[in-house]
A and B are shown apart, each in its own frame.
Chain A
Amino acid sequence: MITIKNLRASVEGKEILKGINLEVKAGEVHAIMGPNGSGKSTLSSVLAGKEEYEVTEGTVQFNGKNLLDMPAEDRAREGVFLAFQYPVEIPGVSNINFLKTAINEIRAYKGLDPIAPKDFLDRVKEKQKLVELDGKLTGRSVNEGFSGGEKKRNEIFQMAMLEPKLAILDETDSGLDIDALKIVASGVNALKSKENAFIVITHYQRLLDYIIPDFVHILYNGKIVRSGGKELALELEAKGYDEIKKQFETESV
């Protein structure tokens, strides 16, 4: 589904990603773990198309297309979804209007007619149940006045509404209590299929108790330094990041 080769990116002249290689196939869940400042959020922003980041080298192929050539909106229309670590509040734009606009722009890109109002409402009802999102919230302005947990659940709700091929969850677990974490995770698990894939970016192993990854990668200093199965996350949890830091700092000297 997505093939990242030797991806290097900088922001304001400072190189953050220093040659990332990653391949994710349909039906897979990949976890990317790493200490603060390792480049986790930069990777998700670069993949989603945030313009502040300059890609200096490398390629990203998404279902055979060059992802890096596309503006953010086309990446979303092609099926890339980023669940934001810090969802943005947009006063005055209702959640419903926002989602309808998004769905219809994605449909227009694919040459489809706008969604029928009834189908849209049915989908809203079905999907908000999935993340136990209060119906009142969907009528409000996007994320405005939402609690941290509500914002994260709203991200998963949007994901469910837009049905992406590849979802990148950027520290979706941060700031969530255990109940909210379970709701978010069960939402993700319900959406998982053979046709889609997930990249779960997280600092802690905790989320991976509920969303079981097929692969775990450790990102450190802008590179994936180790990859393995789900047991790698447990090892990391037990030993902490210090060992990784020590090992690779020495190597880079």
Chain B
Amino acid sequence: MIAEKSHTAQFLIEKISASASKVGFVNDAVLTKALLYLENKGIPSNKNEDYKYCNVEAVFKKEFKNPEQRFIGIESISPYRLPGTMCLVVVNGTFLERLSDVNKLEGVKITPFNELDQATKKKIGSIANVESDGLIALNTAFAGNGFHLKIEKGTQLQTPIQVIYVSGSDGESIVNPRNLIEVEEQGSATIIEQQVHIGEGKVFSNLLSEKFVAKQATLISYIFQNEGPLGYSVNTNQVVVAKEGHYDNTTITLGGQLVRNNHQVVLAGEYSQAHLNGLFSAKQQQVVDNHTLMDHQVPNCESNELYKGIVNDKSTGVFNGKIYVRKDAQKTNAYQSSKNILLSDDATINTKPQLEIYANDVKCSHGTSTGKIDENALFYLNARGIGKESGRKLLLASFAQEVIDKIEVESLREHITHLFESEI
């Protein structure tokens, strides 16, 4: 059977090809596979179960009819910089050494893709399968000059690394930032990734990050999304954790017209652990879609997930959390919880916990709740003289606190607390 080719994808390929940088970080065979997959399967639409509430194809058709790729740059990233961090800057998909603090820390190696050795290049795309998702294919085909970040063996990094992805356009543009992050054996690092939108034009940012956490290594990852109504973003974050490794991610989404997060964690080594936390607040017509996949491949691993969402106006929030426990993954502990607050009758929450368990000696659980703001609690506050508005804010802040408290970088936690309080 000959599959019908995707017109949206073909159109995109034509449009983006001209402006795409030819970095060549994947070999021709992979590139061909990516383009073919894209042509045949296209950009995911709501016909794809995984994109049921996040019709990316429709967004391309409607909002990115004419991706002119007229990018605009940035002179200073100081408004976005957190104090006390080492900063890496990616502008419209291209890693910019000029704006970054490169090689200032011992045991940290940062290399643009075009300067990578063959051995490292091979790792790019080794987790992210181009034939699994049209957006991975799109990124692989058109990613700019991304960066490789390596925390060398035994390096216990105290300074957090902040990665700022700036997307700027004065027309309709599509960018494909990409990186490869490795924490080598017994190394540890904290990485804060932030997506920023600038300019008057719409940008679709299709970010893809592959992360390797080696034996006994620790990676604490924060993703902070606060783009305006012109920002559309997909954040695909694929992680492999080796024996006794530890990966934590906390994703905070406060802005962006459409935000799709694909978190995939493979617990590949025994006694490894991963924790995924998320907080999102959506309003107006925003769509925030969080998909997580926790893949327990080996015995004695632990994972926890806590996602909290607040939706207002006509916005849509999604939490789809899959826990996969393979046949060999005995003694797995896996927990998942999703809690949501609906602030408007027109807002929607879709939660779907999915547990697929093929081992027989495991402890797994999940829970989900969605409700309105607790009227009894609000009345209690009012009865003490606290007004409706500040009472509502106090309750929403207390709801979010559990996730915000997971942030161990004080400057980031304070920044997010402040922004969250002004958003709600």
Q: What residues of chain A have their CB less than 8 Å away from a CB belonging to chain B?
A: 48-51, 71-73, 75-77, 81-82, 84, 87-88, 90-93, 97-99, 101-103, 105-106, 109, 141-142, 158, 162
**CB <8 Å contact, B394 and A102:** no
- Between A and B, 28 residue pairs with Cβ closer than 8 Å are A71-B388, A72-B383, A73-B386, A73-B391, A76-B382, A82-B383, A84-B383, A88-B376, A88-B377, A88-B379, A88-B380, A90-B398, A91-B398, A92-B397, A92-B398, A92-B401, A92-B402, A93-B395, A97-B394, A98-B386, A102-B384, A102-B385, A105-B385, A105-B386, A141-B398, A142-B380, A158-B384, A162-B385
User: Which residues of the partner chain A approach B390 to less than 8 Å between Cβ atoms?
Assistant: 101, 105
B residues less than 8 Å from A82 (CB atoms): 383
Report yes or no: A101 in contact with B376, Cβ–Cβ below 8 A: no
Chain B, residues 383-424, CB within 8 Å of chain A (1/0): the string is: 111111011001101111110000000000000000000000
The docked-state distance in angstroms from the alpha carbon of A36 to that of B381 is: 27
Residues in chain A near residue B376, CB distance under 8 A? 88
Q: What's the minimum C-beta distance from B387 to chain A, rounded to whole angstroms?
A: 5
Q: Among B377, B385, B395, B400, which residue has the most Cβ atoms of chain A within 10 A?
A: B385
Please state if B383 and A90 are interface contacts (CB–CB under 8 Å).
no
Rounded to whole Å, the gap between the CB of A85 and the closest CB of chain B is 12
Complex Cα–Cα for A83 and B57 (A): 56
The 8 Å CB contact of B384, one of A71, A76, A109, is A76
A98 touches B384 (CB 8 A): yes
Known contacts A88-B374, A105-B387; 4 additional CB pairs below 8 A are: A81-B383, A90-B395, A98-B394, A103-B385
Shortest Cβ distance from A45 into B: residue: B379
The dominant DSSP class at the B interface is helix
Residues of B within 8 A of A (CB): 374, 376-377, 379-388, 390-391, 394-395, 397-402
Bound Cα distance A92, B395 (Å): 8
| Contact (Cβ within 8 A) B394 A76 | no
Given the known interface contacts A73-B386, A73-B387, A158-B384, the answer about A50 and B379 at a Cβ–Cβ threshold of 8 Å is yes
- Min CB–CB distance B403 → chain A (angstroms): 10
Residues of B within 8 A of A142 (CB): 380
B387 neighbours in A (Cβ, 8 Å):
73, 105
Partner of A101, one of B377, B380, B386, B402: B386
B379: which of A72, A81, A105 is its contact (CB, 8 Å)? A72
Q: Are A106 and B385 in contact (CB under 8 A)?
A: yes
Given A90-B398, A93-B394, A101-B394 in contact, is the A84-B384 Cβ separation under 8 Å?
Answer: no
A204, B422: Cα distance in complex, Å: 48
Q: Which 10 A-B pairs have the closest CB atoms?
A: A92-B398, A76-B385, A72-B382, A102-B384, A92-B401, A88-B380, A106-B385, A93-B398, A73-B382, A77-B385
Most B Cβ at <10 Å: residue of A87, A90, A97, A106: A90
Give the chain A neighbours of B395 by CB distance below 8 A.
90, 93
Decide: A87 and B380 in contact? CB cutoff 8 A. yes
Chain A residues with Cβ below 8 Å from B394 are: 93, 97-98, 101
B406 CB → nearest A CB, Å: 13
Provide the bound-state CA to CA distance between A101 and B395, in Å: 12
- CA A75 – CA B383 in complex, angstroms? 8
User: From residue B386, how far is it (CB to closest CB) to chain A in Å?
Assistant: 5
Roughly how many angstroms separate A215 CA and B388 CA in the complex, as a whole number? Answer: 35
Question: For B379, what are the chain A residues with a Cβ–Cβ distance below 8 Å?
Answer: 50-51, 72, 88
What separation, in Å, do the CA atoms of A218 and B402 have in the docked complex?
Answer: 46
Q: How far is the CA of A92 from the CA of B381 in the complex (A)?
A: 14
CB-based nearest B residue for A82: B383
Which residues on the B side are within 8 Å of A101 (C-beta)?
386, 390, 394
Question: Are the CB atoms of A102 and B380 closer together than 8 Å?
Answer: no
Report the bound CA distance from A99 to B384 in whole Å.
8
Separation in Å of the A164 CB from the closest CB of chain B?
9
Residues of chain B within 8 A of A91, CB atoms compared:
398, 402
When distances are taken between beta carbons in the complex, the residues of chain B under 8 Å from A102 are 381, 384-386
Q: Give the Cβ gap from B84 to chain A, nearest Cβ, in Å.
A: 27
Kindly provide the distance from the CB of B296 to the nearest chain A CB, expressed in whole angstroms.
Answer: 30
Give the CA-CA distance A5 to B92 in the complex, in Å: 71
Minimal beta-carbon separation of B389 from chain A (angstroms): 10
Please report the C-alpha to C-alpha distance between residue A102 and residue B380 in the assembled complex, in whole angstroms. 11
Which residues of A lie under 8 Å from residue B384 when comparing CB positions?
Answer: 76, 98-99, 102, 158, 162
